[in-house]
Amino acid sequence: MPFTPRCLDSIRAECAQFAAERDWDQFHSARNLLLAVVSEVGELAEVVRWSGDQEPPITEANRQDWEDEMADVFILLVRLADRSGVDLTSAFARKLQKAREKYPVEQFKGSSRKAR
């Protein structure tokens, strides 16, 4: 599913402004935000916890909740990066490059095993 084009940094800036308007930076320490991420991942899990493994677990009935909770995880993760001094774009690029080296196509094609 393609995403509507938007600069990741403008999303960061909008989240930062949302927090600043409410004077919430005081609550947004790294460990507070990490626990908030955990909390939102828990809400995302709640949406599909009883779905069983039939596919797809996302139905017309739960799609709105699924999208909202996923957005919450995303917002808190962006805040966490911003507040703990992480350039998420650069961290992403560097990590994907590491993953390319750790999981070369010829050795891991079609396999879900972990790299040693």
The DSSP letter of residue 115 is P
Print burial letters for 13-31: b (CB count within 10 Å at least 16), e (below 16).
Answer: eebbeebeeeeeeeebeee
Q: Cβ of residue 113: shortest distance to its own copies, in angstroms?
A: 9
Of 4, 60, 101, 116, the one binding its own copies by CB under 8 A: 4
| 79 sits near its own copies (criterion: CB under 8 A) | no
Size of the site for its own copies (CB under 8 A): 85
Q: Cβ of residue 111: shortest distance to its own copies, in angstroms?
A: 8
